[in-house]
Structure 1
Amino acid sequence: MIRTVFILLYNLIRNIIYRIRYKSRYRACAVERISPGASVRLYGRSECRFGRNIELAPGVDIQTHGNGSLDIGERTYMNRQCMISCHNRVSIGAGCMFGPGVRIFDNNHKFSKDG
């Protein structure tokens, strides 16, 4: 019970900080279950939207870059060590459950004009 209250308070504060830091580019409900060990970072003019009642376990790493747009639907669960790297657009529907170590990329590492 105490752990749950701590996580909810932590997330409320984190949500306020993200809203100040990222302004309208970051949208989430006031109370989410995002582990203190999870990371959400927005670079450039990218944006991130979380639906209601999501849960991100420890080690989850979410990054958006450039003009990327990430949408995660309500009631979505991401287990330990999952990663999303979004440079263009990633959209995850409602009620999805990701097992440990899932990686989602909408980009590659080829830098030639042919790749």
Structure 2
Amino acid sequence: MSKLVLKIIKTLMSEGKNRGIYYSFIMFFSHLLGILRGSFYKLVYFKNIKSSIYSLQSQSQIEIFNKNSRVFIGKYVFIRKNTSIRIDYHGELILKDNVFINDNCNINCVNKISIGKNTKIAPNVCINDHDHNYKETSIDHLIRGQVIIGDNVWIGSNVVILRDTVIGDNTVIGAGSVVKGKVPANSIFFNKRDTIIKNIINKDRYISEAN
């Protein structure tokens, strides 16, 4: 506890020089509220969540729908606003130390999702370890898999990560990518995009041809 207090004091002093005392206080108060929200969810789901100190900011929520679901949250995990985390069935969600999750992200876990240490997730990222069984070849309406994300990974904005994906350590996932399968460590992953621009010489003719 003394180490934590010392770290908070050092951080406040450092941020006070860079931001100003007033704005540093506002930031600290926001973080404190996030820690209290995280503690609230830990209390509500005391049988399901095991965690160190973590921050869950306003309008973000954790929903657990099964007594067998488990959530493990490491030290100094920071989850920003409007993020939705849902765990069901025998789902196991692991957020290791110093994971950062930005605004408007969605994590849906029914089997296993693991996010490694120091991984940063940009806004509007969606992570699913399952698909809906639209073929209805079995009683189960879900097809379950896993998502394993390594340490020191950067995931860009608007990325969708699908079931049965393994992302190696120190990897960058380019913004807007759809990821499925194995991504090797120490690599940059992105979906190739083609940009098409058409000149409209005769507007009326172009519309007629389009119709």
TM-score, reference length from structure 2 = 0.49
Tell me how far 1:113 sits from its aligned partner. Answer: 2.2
Task: Name the aligned partner's letter for residue 104 of structure 1.
Answer: I
Cross-structure match for 2:80: 57
Question: In the TM superposition, what whole-angstrom CA distance separates every residue of 1:34-74 from its partner, at most 9, and x where no partner exists?
Answer: 21121111111211111111111111111101111100011
Cross-structure match for 1:36: 58
Cross-structure match for 1:6: 29
Task: Name the aligned partner's letter for residue 88 of structure 2.
Answer: H
> Is the contact made by 2:38 and 2:55 (CA closer than 8 Å) also made in structure 1?
no
- Structure of greater relative contact order (alpha carbons < 8 Å, 6+ residues apart): 1
User: What's the RMSD between the two structures over aligned residues?
Assistant: 1.9
2-structure distance, mates of 1:15, 1:38? 10
Q: Please say if 1:24 is aligned against 2:47.
A: yes
TM-score, reference length from structure 1 = 0.85
1-structure distance, mates of 2:36, 2:103? 22
Query: Structure 2, unaligned stretches of length 5 or more?
Result: 1-23, 144-211
Task: Name the aligned partner's letter for residue 35 of structure 1.
Answer: Q
Tell me how far 1:107 sits from its aligned partner. Answer: 0.8
Q: How many residues are paired up?
A: 114
Find the partner of 2:100 among 69, 77, 83: 77
SS where residue 113 of structure 1 aligns?
Answer: coil
SS where residue 23 of structure 1 aligns?
Answer: coil
Question: In the TM superposition, what whole-angstrom CA distance separates every residue of 1:80-106 from its partner, at most 9, and x where no partner exists?
Answer: 111100000111110101111111001
Q: Please say if 1:113 is aligned against 2:158.
A: no
